[in-house]
A and B are shown apart, each in its own frame.
Chain A
Amino acid sequence: EAQVTQNPRYLITVTGKKLTVTCSQNMNHEYMSWYRQDPGLGLRQIYYSMNVEVTDKGDVPEGYKVSRKEKRNFPLILESPSPNQTSLYFCASSLRGGFLNYGYTFGSGTRLTVV
């Protein structure tokens, strides 16, 4: 089944403790992206990647890192999480960067709480 898989689904952590949220897709998509969803703000893009070894900042990149060493994986790294990073996170992928032609496939989300 074609899908985007995120892990973990739920995570509670403490301020300052490094964490990684994994994202993997099995559709050979070139484009991958991370979003966070917050009440009243919708989905805001954190980072995106047009292809392997090519990443760029989205609208809210502060406090996050990403890497794209393989086509299928796009982990989101929080080096020193803070409570304002408590949010619902979504990974998305697309055949190419052309969202409007190809659409996004979203993962099921990761609910992160930083205390």
Chain B
Amino acid sequence: DQQVKQNSPSLSVQEGRISILNCDYTNSMFDYFLWYKKYPAEGPTFLISISSIKDKNEDGRFTVFLNKSAKHLSLHIVPSQPGDSAVYFCAAGHFMKTSYDKVIFGPGTSLSVIP
């Protein structure tokens, strides 16, 4: 049973428009959420994160929204650029101060931004 779900395997968006990538989780213990971006032939790289004490975090064109009651988060990219075309992984974790943080990755959403 997948604890982190990204129900859209792919998404196409016109350049300049908004991209919205969605992620749902089932484990109520998760208290920290991250988005990773992956280009072909490269490893994933960190994009943006949010902790459960917030409902929004913004970094330039990227904003992550968290709805804890719905166990749902979304990544907004505004405006979308062709260079944003990549696979985006949602990840959720439980912060454990003194030991290893267990992190679960979603299956990924492939975003294509069309010029």
Contact = CB atoms under 8 A, between A and B. Distances in A.
A31 B100 contact: yes
A16 interface: no
Contacts of A90: 43-44
Contact of B9 (A40, A92, A103, A105): A40
B108 A4 contact: no
A42 B89 CA distance: 8
Interface residues of A, number: 26
B42 A100 contact: no
Interface string B88-115: 0100010111011101011110000000
Given A97-B100, A99-B93, A100-B32, A43 B105 contact: yes
Interface string A22-42: 000000000100010001111
Contacts of A39: 107
A100 B95 contact: yes
A106 B105 contact: no
Interface of B: 2, 4, 6, 9, 32, 34, 41-46, 49, 89, 93, 95-97, 99-101, 103, 105-108
